[in-house]
Each structure stands twice: as C-alpha cells, then as structure tokens.
Amino acid sequence: MKKITLLILIGFMMNACSSDDNKNNSSDYYNYITKKSVVSAINFMPEEIYPGADASKSPVLKLKLITEEEFPCINFGISTTQFAKGNELIVRIDKIAEPGGCFTAIGPAISYIDLPENTDKITFINGDKIDQYSIDITAQKIAIALIEKHFTTSLYNKTFRIPTNSFAYVCGTNKNNTEIYNAFYTLVKQNPDFTEFEFEGEGRIPYPETTNGNWVNHPSKFFKYKDVKEFNKLAAILNNYSAANIEKNSGVSISIYGWNNIKFHSWLEN
C-alpha cells in the first residue's frame, strides 16, 4: 500500500513539474498570445523570392505560410505580426485576410514574411497555441528542426539556397523529338565559362527540377558562370536554336532560369 501511495505521489509531482514547465514556456510569450485560434493548420517553408516584377533582381529570403484549409478565392491571405527577440523570430497569426477582389478559384490562404538571415529560432503563435522550430541559415542551405508543434508543419527540413551566378537549363519535349534535350544541353556545356554542378545532399532544390506538362519532362541541369556577358549570350543562342530546330506546336519547351530572375524561353524572342 505504501508503494502504491508513493508511486501516485511521484506521478503527481512529475505532472505538476510538467505543467509548470508548460506554464513557464507560455509565460515567455504572454504579451503575444491572443484568446482565440485563427486557423486549424498551417504549412510553412523558407523560399527565396524576387522583389517586384522587374527583372535582374537578387532573391530575398522569406517564410511562406500556407493554410491547409482552402478558401473560395485563391488570393486569400494570412495577416501576421512579427516580433524579434534576439535571434528568435516570433510570428503571431492574427487573421485570415479576405481580398478586395476575388480571383475565382479555390485555394489556400498564403502569406510571405521576411526571414532575417540571423534567425536561429522560429516561434508561431495561434491563439494560445505555441509552435517552435530551430533554424540554421547558411549561404548554401536552410535547415529546420522541430522543437514543439500543435498546428504547423514544416514542408521541408532542408532547403538549398539559390547560388549566385547560377542558372538552370529546363527542357521538355514530345516523345518523337527527345534528341533536342541533349542537343541544346551540349551547346550549353561547350561554353568554357559555364561549370555544371549538382545540389548535393538532401534538400528542396530552388530551381524547377523538370518541366511540367510536356510528354517527356527531362531532368534539369544546373550551371554556374563567371562572366555575366557569357550568360546573357544564351538569349541569342536560344533564339537561333529555336528558330532552326523547334517547330511550332511540336511540344518542345526550353527555358533558362537565372539566379537573379533573368529568364529566357524558346517560345519567346529573348
């Protein structure tokens, strides 16, 4: 009987300690907590995007938030408030933002928020729910590790950064003209200023890994260049190759995606 009583007492004390720990954790964020949860579930990922619509812009690092719930307009947003606490980024979910005009297609609510390069911890607050992740941001990769979660999900544990002075060769063909993929790939490789590379290890690649919608979606190839003038010459090279080798409505698409938002396409005059 004494043993049973002792075990019950120990269990009660452990539960009390655990409750105190949770209370202390919540108390650290007391000033940020609101009474009511706004969303049931949010997915998130780091992403480098290009500011504005102008070409030739260096990418900036953002945190993309995506609700699991879908809404009647595809341009619903997520209103948030961000706080900085040392190297910790605190993101409070405030509300779902309805658009002024509706893009008539269902989809999730989406938001992009700034992700400072020195961030080493992310805390999400949704009502009284608190989720936390550690994050390691380097020039090559972003790694995210779970600490505690209730309503969020990290879509990618690791994400590659977009290398400076890099570009992707992305090609899709029909079934009867697949040779075009290797032919233009060979043209690109012939330039001594271009060095082919691979994204080594685990992680989401920030360039398209294949085309989408062609009969044959070939794997993309990635290069780095030393001289931007050599990269810019790809516009004329692609124009000339397309005019001589790609028939209209043949199911072939070739794209060059540069690290700084410069793009060349086989179906356009670059």
Q: Is the pLDDT of residue 16 over 70?
A: no
**What is the Cα–Cα distance from 41 to 138, expressed in whole angstroms?**
28
User: pLDDT at position 53, please?
Assistant: 62
Q: What is the pTM (predicted TM-score) of this model?
A: 0.84
**What is the Cα–Cα distance from 88 to 185, expressed in whole angstroms?**
44
* Antiparallel, parallel or unpaired: β 194-197 and 158-160: unpaired
Q: Is the pLDDT of residue 66 over 90?
A: yes
Average pLDDT over the chain, rounded to an integer = 90
Q: For the chain, what are the domain ranges?
A: 36-158, 166-265
Percent of the chain at pLDDT above 70?
89
User: pLDDT at position 3, please?
Assistant: 47
DSSP code of 58? Answer: -
Confidence of residue 114 (pLDDT cuts 50, 70, 90): very high
Confidence of residue 95 (pLDDT cuts 50, 70, 90): very high
**What is the Cα–Cα distance from 195 to 80, expressed in whole angstroms?**
42
DSSP code of 28? Answer: T
User: pLDDT at position 31, please?
Assistant: 86
**What is the Cα–Cα distance from 267 to 83, expressed in whole angstroms?**
45
Q: Is the pLDDT of residue 156 over 90?
A: yes
